[in-house]
Each structure stands twice: as C-alpha cells, then as structure tokens.
Amino acid sequence: MFRQLRFVLAWLACLVLIEARPLVRHIRSTHEFDRVLQKHATETGLPVIVDFYSDGCGPCRMMAPIFQKLAKQKQNEAVFVKVDTNQMYELSGRYGIRSLPTFVFFLGGKKVNEFSGAGEQQLYQFTDGVIAKSQRENVLLTLESLEEYYKKLDPNKDVTNVWEKCAAQSNIKGKQLCAGGAATSLARKLKQKYKEAPKLEKLFQPEEQQAKTTKEDKKPAKDQPSSKAEPNLHLATKEQLLAELEKREDQEVEEQLESETDDDAEFQHGWTPGDFPERVTIIGGGPAGMAAAIYAARAGLEPVVVAPPLGGQLQGKGVDVENYPGLSNVTGPAVIAAMREQAIAFGTRFEMDAVARIERGSPFKIYTNSTGAVIQSHAVIVATGAEAKWLNIPGEYEYRGGGVSSCAICDGAAFYNQHVIIVGGGDAAMEDALVLARTSSKVTVVHRRDTFRASKILAERVKSHPKIHVEWNSTLVAIHGAEEKVTSEDETMDLDSVSASTKKYVTGVSISTKSPSGGSSTRKVACNAVFVAIGHLPATSFLDGVVDFDPNRPGYIRLANGSTHTSTPGIFAAGDVADSVYRQAITSAGSGAAAALDAERWLSENNLGNEAAELEAELMAELMQDMPAAGAASDVYNVYQDTSSLGRGIKESIKTEL
C-alpha cells in the first residue's frame, strides 16, 4: 500500500506545473461543459463563449477559423468552447439550438446572449460586449470597506443591512459576497448620492497572477473567493488522493487538448502573393475542384484553390458514400477531407474565401470576397458547383435559421427527437430523410408526385423506414412559426453595444394534397423544422460577362467541343457548373481531372507560367557571359597546380630533415 501511495504522489508531482488552458476547448461530455462553466464562474470570472457546430455544416466550417482567430486575440479575456451538436444532443436541447452555427455567451455560469448564423461582425460585437460586462462587474465591495465609507459620510447608517442586501443580489454561487453587478450598481448609486464612491477591489485576479500567487503560497484577501486549500498529500486519506488525482487528470486533459493540432488549421489562408502570376487557380472545393488540384499539383503547376471550407454538396452528405468506387463506410465530409489532404501533399495551396468576380486579361485577376485579395493567374478552373433551390413560399425566408434549412446534415441534429419535414423526391431528399431519421422522432417526406425519382435502393429504404412517412401528390404552400425574445438567465444583463434580439422558430406547415378526382385539400401539420431538397442551381453568377452560358440551360456554362474549355481562352469549367445531366460526385471528379489536363496543355501551347524559369535562365546566361574565355589560360588560377607544388615542397622538407 505504501509503495502504491508513493507512486501516486510521484505521478501527481509531475502534474503540478500543468496550468495551461486550451485556446479553444472541444467539449466531450455534458459534465465537462458544466464543470467549465462553474470553474470560470467561481475562479476566473471570465465569460465563456460557446460555438455550437456540426462538421457537415458549411457555415460552421466557414466560421471555424474566425472563431479560432478571435480566441487567439481574446485568450486572456474570455474562454472559447466548441460543442458538436451531433454528439452533444443534451446540450443542444438544453439551450434550444435550432440552426447552426449558434454562438451562446455565458457570464457567471448564466446565459446572457446568443445569435445564429455566419456573422463575423456579430461574433466580434457580442464578444466585446460580454467581455466589457465581465470587466465592469469584476469588483468586490467588502463589509470593511463599506463600513469605512459610511463612517466618513453617514455614521448612523445600518451598514450591515445595506451590505447584506447587496450580497443577496450578487448570488456568487451561494457565497455571501457583495460583488459583480450588484456591487457596481450600489457603488454608482452611492456616488450619485454622496458624490463619492466606496473603495472597490478586484473580485477575480488574472489567471497569470493567480498562478503566481499559488506558487508563492500567498493567502487570499478577506471575503475574496478562492479555491479550496491544496491537501497535504503525505497525510491525505485515500479519498483525498483520489479526488486530487481526478483534478490533476482534468488538468492533463486540458494540456493535451492544447497540444493537439486544431481541426480548423487546414482552413487557414495558405496563399501569399508571389513575384509572378499563378499558373492555375481553381475556384471551388468539391470533388471537381479537388480532383483538378491533385492533377495540376502532380503536373508541377502548384495550383491555388480558392474556396470557402464547404466542400461542395458532398460535404453535406451525412449518409455513407456508396456510389464512389473504392469507398465504403465513409461519409461525404470524410471523402472531401481525404481529397484535401492528398492535394496538400502534392503542393496545393488553399485560400479560404469565396470569389466575388473575375476580370479578364492576361493574366486574369480573381477578386476574393472577405479577405479582399487579388490573385493573378494565367489559367482558371471553375468548379464552384451548385446552390440549393428554394420553394419561394410564405414563411420560408422569414424562418431560415429558425427551422428552415437546405442542409439536413448541418442542422438536423438540432431537432433531436422532434418532428421534421423534408420536401423533395430525388436522391438528395432520400439521403436527407435517412439522415434525419437517425435523430428525429418522425420524418415526413412531402413529394408532389406519386413516385420518387430517386434511385430505387434509396427510395426503398425511405419507404420501409419505420420513422419516415410519405405525403404523396402533395406540396408545401406555407410555413408557419412564432417569435420569442431572446432571454438571458442573468437578469442584470445590459450589454451597451448589443441590442435586444428575437428568435423565430417553425411551428408547422400548410400542405396541399391532390385528390384522385382532381381537386385538392389543404391542412396544417405541426412540425419543428422544414428541410428543402428540391435540387440545385449552378453557382456561376460571378461569371456574368466573363464566359458564355448555355441558352437552353440557364446558369450552366457552355463548353466547347466536348472539352472543359469555355468561350474565354484560359478559363475551364468542371463539375456541376457545366453538367446538368449526371451531377454525381464521381463525374465531377472526372471532369475536374480533365480540366487540369486541358489547362496544363493550354499553358504549354501558349508558353505561359514559366516566368520564374525564364528569369533563372537569363540570370545564368549573364553569369556565363562574365566568365573569362577558354583561351585565356594564363589568367586563370589553377588550384590543383598550387596543391601539387605544396606537396612537393613538403616532401623535400621531410628528406632534408631525415
């Protein structure tokens, strides 16, 4: 027993120095989440900012590097946490998460604000607001300080009664302290009354100062909250040792999380302007764009991929990919991740942004959306895929983000054990219905015909699933909902820079069903979410005036002679931007490879993209011109001749000595 205790004590001693907090903490359990809130409510006073996300959610992946960057900027002022809604159903339900991403802000263990959507400015604004509030309320008014204050200004005042009222309003996790917002409010009122405020102290010290204080074994100030004293491990009981062991293990987990490679690192901006234009730039991050990147990189073209981290439609495919040769038991996001890793391995660079427009010229100028970068490139491969179609019915636009979505894998987990409706009859609708059936209590598929146009195997799975109900010959005519004010658990919450907001959510739909006689009837159906899966339109609006479109297929790029060439030399198209017939991941990947081959051949034929090699050749030619002529041997220094003479001199010197 003594040897076991010595081992435990030695192991604990090795963990004493572990104090680091991860930059962005990924929550693994509800208990861990509650522990984080409690710790920072009672020990640090820092606000906790939570990102509720899903790996398959495009806007979530777009906001991920922004959240990471913000966490780095504010790492000493707030705590940043990520919660995967596909794993943490209980937390999603507890805080009413209805769309992704949703950012929730906590202070003192209480929710004080939230918003949904990919709003970078909102994220910074709300974060600055809650940090400012935490700093304003990081105050402590001790009874001694208040007694000294009243002794000077109002000696007859019942000081204890005033202080106890303040402590009752503070409610610092059950501790009787006049602190936080209550202390700030009291000090402000006293200053207005007596033209002088009582002396306030800091309720929480910065984490660095706390660590220093712990190392120096300083005693905490009176009435100031502090953690329990460290047990004397040499005299501790078995229960105390186990409790301390659990505490140190938690610290070790935090240290491991800090050292792990962040999941969002791959989305950082990897492109930097060079001295010469890029040889080929690929716009789009789906199967077509990734295949083009792999082929172009292997050809030595060093391509740049410009795309938000959405991964195309395949990124939102939550069921297993079954129709791509060589792949099994793997989801769409995993396929895109593998393609991206392969492209990076061959030298592809990524710029995480969308393209606003392209300016024709030699080279082309590609203007990005959020970063404002301008990329010059000799060749461009367009592989931006397609965007979801919408129903354009009443309530659809109003309740987007509150239950109306086009991405089941993105937002489906937010409606755990609830009734959801999906509209459509193709493969996408069938896949979304199967994804939603994993987590929802009931899935209703609304289709305007009496048969599905999806593949037979998917259609049969949907029709035989016990949780899925099909409404044949039916259409959605309206989406209904309600509106509620975003409430805060903190009654004193008053962020100066953040206005009060409301949250809209879906409560039901109106469904019109055709009868065999030719008439129709409309009825209301209660539900919590509506997912639209009725097809896609090519994402090619940024190419207006740059390339020609197919007059018979609006939005689709017209290709020349069965190749990937567009009407503009040097611009190539691949994937769903030009394919209105097949629209499969494997056909997109094939056209992406073809586009890279066409681009490589076009660059060679036009002798473009060799500026660096040509400059190197010119410099080498100039150096060769500066070299002396071959006949001028007398002016040339011969190092070998000097070396042989030195050798002979050494030999003769040795002979003389002998």
**pLDDT of 521-563, one tens digit each?**
999 999 999 999 998 889 999 999 999 999 988 899 999 888 9
**For 68-105, what is each residue's pLDDT tens digit?**
999 999 999 999 999 998 888 888 888 888 888 899 99
Q: Higher pLDDT residue, 423 or 483?
A: 423
pLDDT exceeds cutoff 60 at 106: yes
User: What integer pLDDT is reported at residue 528 of this predicted model?
Assistant: 94
Among 547, 592, 594, smallest CA distance to 569 is for: 547
Note the helical H segments in 118-234.
120-136, 143-153, 159-170, 180-194, 207-215
User: What integer pLDDT is reported at residue 484 of this predicted model?
Assistant: 81
**Residue 473: φ, ψ to 5°:** 50, 40
What global pTM score does this model have?
Answer: 0.62
**For 457-486, what is each residue's pLDDT tens digit?**
999 999 999 999 999 999 999 999 998 876
| Residue 167 pLDDT grade (very low, low, confident, very high; cuts 50, 70, 90) | confident
Q: Which CATH code, of 3.40.50.1000, 3.40.30.10, 3.30.460.80, 3.40.50.720, is assigned to 2-138+227-259?
A: 3.40.30.10
| Residue 304 pLDDT grade (very low, low, confident, very high; cuts 50, 70, 90) | very high
Burial class (CB in 10 A: 0-12, 13-18, 19+), 419: middle
pLDDT exceeds cutoff 60 at 296: yes
Which residue is listed with tokens 């004590």? 9
- Poorest-pLDDT segment among 17-21, 373-377, 473-477: 17-21
Question: Which residues 6+ apart lie within 8 Å of 126 measured at CB?
Answer: 103, 105, 113, 115, 495, 498
Q: Higher pLDDT residue, 112 or 210?
A: 112
Q: Which residues pair with 111 in a beta bridge?
A: 106
Region 143-148: what's the mean pLDDT? 88
User: What integer pLDDT is reported at residue 423 of this predicted model?
Assistant: 97
User: What integer pLDDT is reported at residue 240 of this predicted model?
Assistant: 76
Among 431, 457, 386, smallest CA distance to 533 is for: 431
pLDDT exceeds cutoff 80 at 267: no
Pairing of the two strands 349-351 and 24-26: unpaired
User: What integer pLDDT is reported at residue 298 of this predicted model?
Assistant: 95
Percent of the chain at pLDDT exceeding 90: 40
Region 427-438: what's the mean pLDDT? 92
Mean confidence (pLDDT) of the chain: 82
Which residue is listed with tokens 């034929």? 605
**CATH 3.50.50.60 residue spans of the chain:** 269-388+541-605, 404-534
User: What integer pLDDT is reported at residue 632 of this predicted model?
Assistant: 53
Q: Higher pLDDT residue, 125 or 635?
A: 125
d(CA 643, CA 633): 18
CB distance 313 to 385 below 8 Å? yes
User: What integer pLDDT is reported at residue 16 of this predicted model?
Assistant: 40
Q: Higher pLDDT residue, 503 or 30?
A: 30
Q: How much of the chain is helix, strand and coil, in % rounded to 5?
A: 40, 20, 40
Residues identified as active-site: 407, 410-411
Region 307-311: what's the mean pLDDT? 72
User: What integer pLDDT is reported at residue 128 of this predicted model?
Assistant: 93
d(CA 334, CA 342): 12
Query: How many residues make up the chain in this entry?
Result: 658
DSSP state, residue 505 = E
DSSP state, residue 57 = -
User: What integer pLDDT is reported at residue 496 of this predicted model?
Assistant: 40
User: What integer pLDDT is reported at residue 18 of this predicted model?
Assistant: 39
d(CA 136, CA 293): 51
Within 13 Å of residue 216, how many CA atoms lie on the same side as its CB?
Answer: 9
CB distance 593 to 291 below 8 Å? yes
User: What integer pLDDT is reported at residue 446 of this predicted model?
Assistant: 97
Q: Which CATH code, of 3.50.30.10, 3.30.70.1280, 2.40.50.140, 3.50.50.60, is assigned to 269-388+541-605?
A: 3.50.50.60
Region 215-244: what's the mean pLDDT? 59
CB distance 414 to 100 below 8 Å? yes
pLDDT exceeds cutoff 60 at 657: no
pLDDT exceeds cutoff 70 at 335: yes
Q: What is the largest CA-CA distance in the chain?
A: 128
Pairing of the two strands 355-359 and 364-368: antiparallel
pLDDT exceeds cutoff 90 at 192: no
Quote the distance between the C-alpha of residue 443 and its chain's center: 28
| Residue 493 pLDDT grade (very low, low, confident, very high; cuts 50, 70, 90) | very low
Region 320-341: what's the mean pLDDT? 83
pLDDT exceeds cutoff 60 at 213: no
| Alpha-carbon separation of residue 598 from 18, 284, 296, 527, 592 (angstroms) | 55, 17, 10, 50, 10
| Residue 494 pLDDT grade (very low, low, confident, very high; cuts 50, 70, 90) | very low
Q: Which CATH code, of 3.50.50.60, 3.40.50.300, 3.40.50.740, 3.40.50.10320, is assigned to 404-534?
A: 3.50.50.60
| Alpha-carbon separation of residue 487 from 96, 108, 123, 422 (angstroms) | 12, 16, 18, 30
**CATH 3.40.30.10 residue spans of the chain:** 2-138+227-259
User: What integer pLDDT is reported at residue 2 of this predicted model?
Assistant: 46
The alpha carbon dihedral of 102, 105, 111, 114 has a sign of negative
**For 376-388, what is each residue's pLDDT tens digit?**
999 999 999 988 8
Among 576, 536, 532, 583, smallest CA distance to 408 is for: 532
User: What integer pLDDT is reported at residue 263 of this predicted model?
Assistant: 45
User: What integer pLDDT is reported at residue 451 of this predicted model?
Assistant: 94
In the sheet that 468-471 helps form, which strands lie side by side, from edge to edge?
404-405, 529-532, 419-423, 442-446, 468-471
Integer-rounded Cα radius of gyration of the chain: 33
**For 586-644, what is each residue's pLDDT tens digit?**
999 999 999 999 999 999 999 987 787 777 788 888 888 876 655 555 555 555 555 55
pLDDT exceeds cutoff 90 at 447: yes
Pairing of the two strands 529-532 and 404-405: parallel
Burial 485-501 (b: 16+ CB within 10 A, else e): eeebebebbebeebeee
Among 33, 8, 22, smallest CA distance to 256 is for: 22
User: What integer pLDDT is reported at residue 248 of this predicted model?
Assistant: 75
Which residue is listed with tokens 């660079």? 349
User: What integer pLDDT is reported at residue 218 of this predicted model?
Assistant: 46
| Residue 58 pLDDT grade (very low, low, confident, very high; cuts 50, 70, 90) | confident
User: What integer pLDDT is reported at residue 247 of this predicted model?
Assistant: 72
Region 17-45: what's the mean pLDDT? 82
Percent of the chain at pLDDT exceeding 70: 80
